[in-house]
Amino acid sequence: MTKIIALAGSLKNQSVNKRLVLIAAKAAEQAGVEVQYLDLADFNIPLFSEDLEAEGTPANVNDLKALFAGSQGILLATPEYNGSISGVLKNAIDWLSRPSNTSSDIGSAFHGKVVGLMAASPGGLGGIRGLSHTRDILFNLGAIISPGQLALPSAYAAFDEQGQLVDSTMAERVQQLAQEVSRLATAINAT
C-alpha cells in the first residue's frame, strides 16, 4: 500500500500549518493511501552540525529517516518565517538529506518522493514566499514536487472550532492537492 508522511514545519502546539496538513492527511486517507502524521516536536532534532554528524547520526534522526524511507509521498505544510522556510523545518531537511552512516544507509529522505506543498500564514500572501524556498530546496534533493501547491492567507480566521476550513473552496483545493499527491505516489509505488 502507498504510504504518505504528513508533516508541518512548526513546533507550535496550535500551529495553523499542523491544522492544514491534518486536513490534507485525512483527504489522502480517503483517497486510499496510508498516512502517518509526524510532529517534529516529538523527535527533538539537534541543530545540524557536521561535527555532531561525525560522531554518528542521532538515533531520533535515523528513526525519522526510516519513516521517510518507508513512504512514497509527503504532505508538507510550512510556516513562513521572515519570508522563508522555518528554521525547524530547514534543520530537519538538512538532517534528513544526509547519509545515515549505517550499513542500511538510506541516503536522502526526499529523493524520488512525491511532495505536496502547502502553507498557512496570518498574512495576506498565505506563506507563498516560504513555499517557493521550500520547493527549491526539495527539488534540489530529488523530490518530485506536485504542481498544485496551496497557500492559505489569513490563517488565524481560516479554521472553525473543530479545526476545519471555513472556506469550502479552500477545503476543496486541499482535498485536490492530497488526492494529486496520493495518485502520483501510488503510480510511482506501482512501478
| Residue written as grid cell 530547514 | 90
Supply 12's cell numbers: 507550535
Question: To which CATH superfamily is domain 3-190 assigned?
Answer: Flavodoxin domain (3.40.50.360)
- Please give the average per-residue pLDDT across 154-168, as a whole number: 96
pLDDT class of 103 with cuts at 50, 70, 90: very low
- The pLDDT value given to residue 185: 96
pTM: 0.94
Q: Classify residue 125 by its DSSP letter.
A: T
The enclosing H or E element of 80 equals strand 80-81
Higher pLDDT, 4 or 101: 4
pLDDT at 150 over 70: yes
191/149 Cα distance (integer angstroms): 25
